[in-house]
Amino acid sequence: MSKAKISDRLLNTEEAARFLRVSEASIRRWSDAGRLPSRRIGGRRERRFREVDLLAYLGGAEASPAGGGAFRADVNVGGVPLPLHSHLATFYNTDAGRLRLTLPFFVDGIRAGQPCFLAAALDVVDIYVRSLRSEGVDIDSAMERGTFVAVPGGPGTTVHGALDFWEQQFSPARASGQTVIRVVGEMSSERKLFSSDAEMMNYEAAFNMLSHRFPIVTLCQYDVREFDGETIFQAIRVHPDLFGLHLGSFLN
Q: What is the mean pLDDT of residues 127-149?
A: 96
How many Cα atoms sit within 13 Å of 132 on the Cβ side?
27
**Quick check: 110 and 137 in contact, CB under 8 A?**
yes
Could you tell me the pLDDT band of residue 59, with boundaries at 50, 70 and 90? low
pTM (predicted TM-score):
0.77
Query: For residue 54, is pLDDT > 70?
Result: yes
Domains of the chain with CATH codes = 6-59 (1.10.1660.10), 75-250 (3.40.50.300)
Which of 57-71, 131-145, 189-203 is predicted least confidently? 57-71
Indicate the average pLDDT of the chain: 87
pLDDT at 194: 93
Q: Mind listing the pLDDT tens digit for each residue in 88-101? A: 999 999 999 999 99
pLDDT at 60: 52
